[in-house]
Structure 1
């Protein structure tokens, strides 16, 4: 008890009121290592096999993500009796569950982005180079297109009848509603990614390696529950592009810009909030 009381006393008095804003958590005594900012351009990556392996991992993960999720959406939409399907909750679980599984599988190879908005947010926070970010986004989009194409190849008629999982702003909602839903939904996702993969948190939770993919997948699940009625839930430009391109009907392209602009704005806001407000990294004292 005596030792515990000492810990409490030190914890209550460790940081003083007069410390400058943004410096309270920045001390020399750390049990974690803050990764250095990634260079904007890293030409040496282009000759590294690990660079291309990471891109392939992003391609395959996004391919599998579209394959499972679009099939799930089609199964719900085509059924005349929603009680006989997994319903909206099942769609949300398919998206969240696949992200959980795929982030767990690919985190050690590529970081497990599987989403251009996540990649963009991490780029803004200097967690990866521009070279790698562009490569990831290209591979994610190609994977999404291939995943949706395989689903259409299995059942072309059914795919076109039920919309192929393409994102649109649903009846009763404006474009502004859809844009807002995509911004806030992606903010929740990318903020969760930053928090779950934070170097400080990783040091505390190193004994639970499964922890990071779990909240990320759960965030995707919850955002889908909230925004499926509004936009079908994009929060992933590659997922929206793949479904729209393979479905390729006018209604899939009318509001397609929302599913790029919204996620990128949401990702940028999440990066700024986490880096400047939560971690106060730009104000770190020397």
Structure 2
């Protein structure tokens, strides 16, 4: 079976196994083979990453990536609390309730968007202990990482409020 294509010079006959469908199918077959784990089973859960193997607690604590993500969670919580509380405090002493609510809501949404963009590639940008606890329950983060994230988030939030209200 042949595929006929028209070019400027002449009519070329290309065997069917060299057309675009063949290349797409071979690409999908290669991708499927790459998705297989070492036992030959397909990885069905997108949350279980083959890039980061499971480590024990001591091995995880000793990595630079672990401490970098803890510090990023602390900084993200610090900035979030500082920005949102600062927006509420900066609305003015005699400001109406609606203007304080609007300023706080806008600051909260924009701060969360910006902080997520800044920290998602480092730690996942949980920023909230409830999100971290949920991630621990569904096992996307280890219990030691969740405990350290929650500690860092609380510490960052306290530091952000302390810097603002002093």
Larger Cα-atom Rg: 2
Cα distance in 1 for partners of 2:54, 2:143 equals 8
Task: Select 1:80's aligned residue among 84, 87, 94.
Answer: 94
**Residue 80 (structure 2) aligns with:** 65
Is there any run of 5+ residues in structure 2 with no aligned partner, and where?
1-40
TM-score (norm 1): 0.39
Tell me the matched-pair count.
123
Query: Cα distance 1:54–1:114, how it changes in 2: closer, same or farther (>3 A)?
Result: same
- Normalising by structure 2, we get a TM-score of 0.65
* 1:185-196 aligned within 5 A: none
Structure with the higher strand share, 1 or 2: 2
Instruction: Select the structure that is richer in helix.
Output: 1
Query: What whole-Å deviation, never above 9, does each CA across 1:53-72 have from its counterpart, x for those lacking one?
Result: 00000111111111111111
Q: Is the 8 A contact 1:41 1:130 kept in 2?
A: no
- Shift in alpha-carbon separation, 1:81–1:135, aligned structure 2, 3 A: closer
Q: Could you give the per-residue CA deviations for residues 122-154 of structure 1, whole angstroms, max 9, x where no partner exists?
A: 11111110010001000001101110111023x
* Conservation of the 8 A alpha-carbon contact between 1:55 and 1:110: yes
List runs of 5+ in structure 1 lacking aligned partners.
1-27, 154-286
Tell me by how many angstroms 1:81 deviates: 3.5
Are residues 95 and 44 of structure 1, via their aligned partners in 2, closer, same or farther at CA, if it must alter by over 3 Å?
same
CA contact (8 A) 2:85 2:104 kept: no
